[in-house]
Structure 1
């Protein structure tokens, strides 16, 4: 039966004026707007090759995605597929959305081949973004048939539930079911969707979609988690791709963390995949489930336990390194470090062998050669190279840089505080200074431009924070975006120290909270309705600064750390925007937990 909305495109190829085979492409789209840039196929009648790009955003790194597009032009694919997260999004500001979509379109404008859009959670998160997508591209899920292969492009964001909560709702499922029934004779089916729904819960009709796919030749491609792995399931191969510029620690193949594009050559036996790194090419087995289980599903096996001192200038200290081998093969660890003129350190051993399913510990001896205060120590950077020794296959090697710095033992005193912004109760408090400044030097004019000090306390009801802020140019906009004006951020991880000390930013909202507050009169807090607790706050404003008080309920701290909690990890910082400066400067007590300069265990307070 002929559908009224079918767009029939017939491509003609010629050689010296003689018509060749005419591949026919059927695309069923009911709108005038189309979710692709053009359909001038960059094809060769004897070949069927296309490329896949993956997440550009979720903490994008400028320049990576455009570089990938340039490399694709060198390879000349017939067309390019995507798996979403093309803009940063997560906003209802249409001006910002237009700017981000125009920027992205400028990235693919140089691409010779057609580019097919698939939405990710950064592209569609709310009704405003959903309407913008429809305005630009017409539909959020669709399909086309090319050379007897069905390309099924789906929308895992059809219920606007955000990261880790993708769905296929009833309406989309019926579309998929109908499409598969009408194309049951194709030789292969390729599915493109942003979130890997096969590893998520409560995905509505996704399991039903898998059932529809189970009796046909198919593969599924997704992105979202910024890590590559291949799974063989449901009589097909399912791929979660890494990044094409999205946020990533880039720890390499063992972790599935790398920037790549996928080069697919379609054959009668299915697609042959080559992962094109910016510095090389790997086949589809670059990361298998076996390697995921060995390496990535475990924390890095070497870590240095935080060391705290109650002395300002300790002469000598010791830290403990723990090496955990919970695999069934022998592990070799080699340690390398750089010398430091103030803080001398020595390993018991530079090379350690850990037997299968065993734990090794060794001391790191520290000496304060310059009689310096703890705050003056530089962060040590120790590289741990880990190798698993296999008998019947190549060894697996990977490495990580371990950050370490001896830290002062901050004591949390018990004091009753009234949240009014007056700071009357804080006369005897210990005040800490936010010294970690980032930003262009010419955008920061010294402590009169911006400085932040704070103190902490607790009682049976709350954990308290007092802030003294100097800022000679407050930038406040009731209609502006939260990230484009002055704001203070407080981060609290109340879990036991063996967990909170090694928090690298994962699990925000679930394991720890980030509370960002601007100086808006209305809705000053980012996502306040999604926080697992109610933070009390009071602010006193002055011409050149502010005083603030905050209270985090003890009920939350006991929930995360237990009734007998003994410590919590705290982070605080300020984003300073000045009207006459080009960029913001940031002022933190310690580097952020998810940043490259994070020191495990920093910001820890111990109950008195």
Structure 2
């Protein structure tokens, strides 16, 4: 690995010339009193300013990153750092890679300042992408020194293990060690990498890197999780940044979800950070660990318990609303409902205060209008606004939209035995359910001929079973392509007790609940099969106009989550449909995905019959 030995000296000459040309001001005011506080100018040859951009991909939102670049040009930093995930990547298709890098270069071209590249998991995930990076940029980790500050740019993807499994291997560690030894006397060290390895396990030599950093002035910057938080550790500030256009629910600073660039002023005492939201400015304490623990590490304070009805004709019903204050300060709550054309509802309380560490419960009363069918209803939407009242710091405000609807009580029946062969001969008497929720461009979905899917469920002494009957007039299969960019069936199964699984919003995927994605590849059709918490088996049979599939999940996994006498599980099923000639794919779910803003808590619950 090599540093910028030829580029940096030229950079120094340029800045040194500018430092020698300090402005001179002439003042001619005769009075003793002066209209200023002092004239100690806030300038020094050692002081400089640069910017940091963070994740653009992992579900890019078009237009955001270019806006960030335009705003950086208004601010005129001396240079711009990055923390990776610059392209969408995750492919071995060199044509696609070339196109994505060409697009990104077009975003950078208008930038007046130098731009320093750092790889993320979307930039380097396999050997093809790694080679492309080397073709474009030469090295994947490097360093430079500017005005007595060491900039150490690392590659958290050096073992190609993907999201959540970053590493610093032996070779890179030796480079870091040598670089720090060679630059032992710099006044500050700034480290840039993509994945925040300090919150991950099995990171190879990262902890050794931290030990080398512990006795010097340093800061570490990363991205990856699309949420901002600052941690004080290892005698330095470690900061995970939010997004500059990457996927985000954008719920605000309480959640650390916002689009921003970071403006860094390097002083003799260390860096001063200003988080520049694309619509405002905040300092580096925009989200502290204390606020993380209060807001993000606790369930949202307001929950509406789902209700499941055996009698679909029932007109009057009620659901319990539970509001929990997890803090040591007062919490004000305001609930605002939107009118619903098929359901009349009324909250017993809409504006109230919850005392510290207290719980308030009340009812939401509902009445069905006309002959509405629950499964065809749009959800009731209630905006819950939360404000924590503090005496010694600004109040903390955040909000969320709560989706609610009554559900028919779906059951799963016991059977004597299912032979897992992908055929549906044993399922003729089963209760089949349709997958009807569609997301994506309407121009990419041509109705039932394009896609139609039904499923049934059952269990025996050994397994929980899912049968799928799929119609798809254009199977899109790529043996070497990304699992997420071709036709695939998605299964989610949360075996934890109903009061927990009902409010699963996607957290703990692969750890607390099964996330099973199966394509129609001939080789290795299941995404990350070796990382599933349990061995899920499946068999598929291709038909003239689609496919049939059977999936089996060991019952021991369900019993582990809910006990031997398990009564329910939360189940989700979806399909990613990509057709040749369409601009993009469409997604089809039984109920909206648990991690989407459209998720309805309690949806997909199956009760043992």
The alignment's TM-score, normalised by the length of structure 1, stands at: 0.90
Shift of 1:435: 1.2
Partner of 2:381: 381
Partner of 2:517: 516
Runs (5+) with no aligned partner, structure 1: 24-43
Shift of 1:211: 3.0
Q: Alignment partner of 2:9: what SS?
A: strand
Q: Within 1, Cα distance between the matches of 2:4 and 2:147?
A: 20
Partner of 1:507: 508
Q: Within 2, Cα distance between the matches of 1:524 and 1:135?
A: 31
Moved more, 276-285 or 479-488: 479-488
**Structure 1 residues 361 and 596: alpha-carbon distance in aligned structure 2, compared to 1, 3 A threshold:** same
Q: Alignment partner of 2:558: what SS?
A: helix
Shift of 1:181: 2.2
Q: Alignment partner of 1:560: what SS?
A: helix
Moved more, 204-213 or 5-14: 5-14
**Structure 1 residues 210 and 420: alpha-carbon distance in aligned structure 2, compared to 1, 3 A threshold:** closer
Instruction: Say if 1:451 and 1:587, in contact at 8 Å, map to a contact too.
Output: no
Partner of 1:96: 96
Q: Alignment partner of 2:499: what SS?
A: helix
**Structure 1 residues 529 and 230: alpha-carbon distance in aligned structure 2, compared to 1, 3 A threshold:** closer
Instruction: Say if 2:263 and 2:276, in contact at 8 Å, map to a contact too.
Output: yes
Instruction: Say if 2:570 and 2:606, in contact at 8 Å, map to a contact too.
Output: yes
Shift of 1:246: 1.6
Q: Within 2, Cα distance between the matches of 1:530 and 1:389?
A: 43
- How many correspondences in the alignment? 584
Q: Within 1, Cα distance between the matches of 2:374 and 2:230?
A: 46
Partner of 2:356: 356
- Output aligned runs, 1:380-419, within 5 Å: 380-415=380-415, 416-419=417-420
Shift of 1:343: 0.8
Instruction: Say if 1:228 and 1:287, in contact at 8 Å, map to a contact too.
Output: yes
Partner of 2:313: 313
Moved more, 109-118 or 580-589: 580-589
- Output aligned runs, 1:330-349, within 5 Å: 330-349=330-349
- Output aligned runs, 1:507-586, within 5 Å: 507-586=508-587
- Output aligned runs, 1:415-426, within 5 Å: 415=415, 416-426=417-427
Partner of 2:303: 303
1:6-51 residue CA offsets vs partner (Å, 9 max, x unmatched)? 4363248789xx966699xxxxxxxxxxxxxxxxxxxx97962110
Cα RMSD of the aligned pairs, angstroms, is 2.5
**Structure 1 residues 296 and 477: alpha-carbon distance in aligned structure 2, compared to 1, 3 A threshold:** closer
Shift of 1:75: 1.5
The alignment's TM-score, normalised by the length of structure 2, stands at: 0.90
Q: Within 2, Cα distance between the matches of 1:77 and 1:538?
A: 57
Q: Alignment partner of 1:413: what SS?
A: strand
Partner of 1:28: none
Partner of 2:598: 597
Q: Alignment partner of 1:452: what SS?
A: strand
Instruction: Say if 2:3 and 2:144, in contact at 8 Å, map to a contact too.
Output: no
**Structure 1 residues 13 and 540: alpha-carbon distance in aligned structure 2, compared to 1, 3 A threshold:** closer
Q: Within 2, Cα distance between the matches of 1:465 and 1:391?
A: 54
Partner of 2:51: 51
Q: Within 1, Cα distance between the matches of 2:191 and 2:61?
A: 27
Instruction: Say if 2:47 and 2:267, in contact at 8 Å, map to a contact too.
Output: no
Shift of 1:275: 0.7
Partner of 2:281: 281
**Structure 1 residues 330 and 515: alpha-carbon distance in aligned structure 2, compared to 1, 3 A threshold:** same
Partner of 2:428: 427
Q: Within 2, Cα distance between the matches of 1:417 and 1:388?
A: 53
Moved more, 90-99 or 190-199: 90-99
Q: Within 2, Cα distance between the matches of 1:569 and 1:350?
A: 30
Q: Alignment partner of 2:254: what SS?
A: helix
**Structure 1 residues 304 and 442: alpha-carbon distance in aligned structure 2, compared to 1, 3 A threshold:** same
Instruction: Say if 1:11 and 1:22, in contact at 8 Å, map to a contact too.
Output: no
1:535-574 residue CA offsets vs partner (Å, 9 max, x unmatched)? 3333333322332222222122223333222111111122
Q: Alignment partner of 1:87: what SS?
A: coil
**Structure 1 residues 331 and 183: alpha-carbon distance in aligned structure 2, compared to 1, 3 A threshold:** same
